[in-house]
């Protein structure tokens, strides 16, 4: 009898500050409806000067460690596309901040917003090989575009941590997966740039092509029929993209694209992404958290997940919600992570956006802004210095 493997626990963290799209619209003269309705975004998380992918990742993972302990975690997989180092995995810093055992492998994975799903699949394979171990998957990103660019309104920041193991308490991940890769330049960030480059229309087209391709492969691998899924969890660079993707999938499958039916299929997945903004690798799993926190009892129901990363790679896969999952949810903490953010005006956001460490290798310290459990204290001798609060 094959062992059941999947997501045993899930927790997330986001930035200290929040910029409303009303404030952004007031600055640039945009009709607020373009943000609230057009792209489906209300606000965006903005990291403090002493926050980054490591502090958010550690903050997301700390509640999981507090609940389950450290002894079975033999691997940490950190997924990001806003990496802080070309050699050292950000997860090594997280490993240290959390005080995990030294008998542990740590690696960083990258493929745009798809990276966390690659990390999840990596974790599933490790647990299948040794069901006594657990894998900590961390997806953490800061989405950053140039000021006054079309992508500015989709920025955000968050980290999701998932504990992957046998006999999971939340979601059993199923086989098969539908896979798709195409070489497209819809979104990219060369090493010499802080902000990403994006071809907005090309990115939407590439996403829809990937949805179609991943679904086609999923059906060829004898996956579930469309009608069996209770909900659809999509990567959300902006929440309206999930609606575009699902409508495209329904059209491709010859189904009606009734607005109410689409709303029922994915409406409960957008609540967190709509107010946090694009969190790249964390986005699809924030959508999963929002669904589990809000939906009526999903125990025993099948969920579809579509993970997309520009460039491009996509995966369509499914999971079954485990009986008793509601006892494991972190709904109150998840909502608190959002409501605790301090509003920032456009000038304050702009100052944080433009802030960068000098590259001279000197001692540069960050102002203490975060109220989270971990902070980036500064940089010294080209070394990032982190501390627990």
| Strands (DSSP E) found in 146-249 | 156-166, 171-173, 178-181, 187-188, 197-198, 229-234
Does the annotation count 235 as an active-site position? yes
Say which of 21, 235, 248, 353 is annotated catalytic.
235
Rg (CA), the chain: 20
pLDDT of residue 166: 98
pLDDT of residue 2: 75
Does the annotation count 81 as an active-site position? yes
Backbone angles phi, psi at 284, to 5 degrees: -65, -30
Enumerate residue ranges in the chain where pLDDT < 50. none
Residue 198 contacts residue 145 (beta carbons within 8 Å):
yes
Say which of 8, 113, 212, 246 is annotated catalytic.
113
CATH of segment(s) 175-323: 3.40.47.10
Say which of 16, 51, 81, 212 is annotated catalytic.
81
CATH of segment(s) 5-172+329-388: 3.40.47.10
C-alpha atoms less than 13 angstroms from C-alpha of 190 in its C-beta half-sphere:
3
Provide the pairing of β-strand 302-309 with 156-166.
Answer: unpaired
CATH 3.40.47.10 domain range(s) in the chain: 5-172+329-388, 175-323
* Mean pLDDT rounded to a whole number for the chain: 97
pLDDT of residue 286: 98
Closest of 81, 77, 79, 84 to residue 52, by C-alpha: 84
Residue 119 contacts residue 137 (beta carbons within 8 Å):
yes
pLDDT of residue 330: 98
């Amino acid at each position: 009898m094959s062992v059941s493997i999947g997501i045993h626990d899930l927790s997330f963290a986001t930035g200290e500050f929040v910029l409303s799209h009303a404030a952004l619209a007031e600055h640039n003269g945009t009709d607020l409806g373009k943000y609230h309705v057009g792209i489906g975004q209300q606000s965006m998380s903005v990291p403090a000067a002493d926050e980054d992918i490591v502090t958010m990742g550690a903050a997301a993972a700390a509640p999981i460690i507090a609940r389950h302990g450290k002894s079975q975690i033999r691997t940490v997989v950190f997924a990001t596309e806003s990496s802080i180092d070309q050699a050292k995995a950000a997860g090594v810093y997280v490993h240290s901040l959390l005080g995990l055992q030294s008998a542990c492998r740590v690696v960083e994975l990258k493929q745009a917003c798809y990276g966390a799903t690659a990390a999840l699949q990596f974790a599933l394979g490790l647990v299948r090989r040794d069901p006594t171990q657990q894998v900590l998957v961390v997806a953490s990103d800061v989405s950053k575009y140039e000021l006054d660019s079309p992508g500015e309104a989709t920025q955000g920041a968050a980290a999701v941590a998932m504990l992957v193991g046998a006999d999971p308490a939340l979601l059993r991940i199923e086989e098969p997966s539908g896979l798709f890769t195409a070489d497209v330049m819809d979104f990219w960030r060369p090493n010499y740039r802080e902000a990403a480059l994006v071809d907005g229309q090309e990115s939407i087209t590439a996403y829809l092509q990937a949805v179609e391709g991943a679904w086609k492969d999923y059906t060829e691998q004898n996956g579930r029929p469309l009608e069996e899924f209770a909900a659809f969890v999509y990567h959300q660079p902006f929440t309206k993209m999930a609606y575009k993707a699902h409508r495209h999938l329904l059209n491709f499958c010859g189904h009606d694209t009734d607005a109410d039916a689409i709303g029922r299929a994915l409406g409960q997945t957008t609540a967190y992404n709509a107010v946090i903004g694009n969190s790249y690798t964390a986005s699809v799993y924030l959508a999963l958290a929002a669904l589990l926190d809000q939906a009526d009892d999903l125990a025993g129901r099948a969920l579809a997940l579509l993970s997309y990363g520009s460039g491009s790679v996509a995966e369509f896969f499914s999971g079954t919600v485990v009986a008793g999952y509601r006892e494991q949810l972190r709904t109150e903490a998840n909502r608190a992570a959002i409501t605790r953010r301090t509003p920032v005006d456009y000038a304050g956001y702009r100052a944080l956006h433009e802030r960068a460490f000098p590259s001279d290798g000197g001692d540069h310290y960050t102002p203490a802004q975060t109220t989270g459990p971990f902070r980036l204290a500064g940089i010294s001798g080209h070394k990032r210095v982190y501390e627990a609060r």
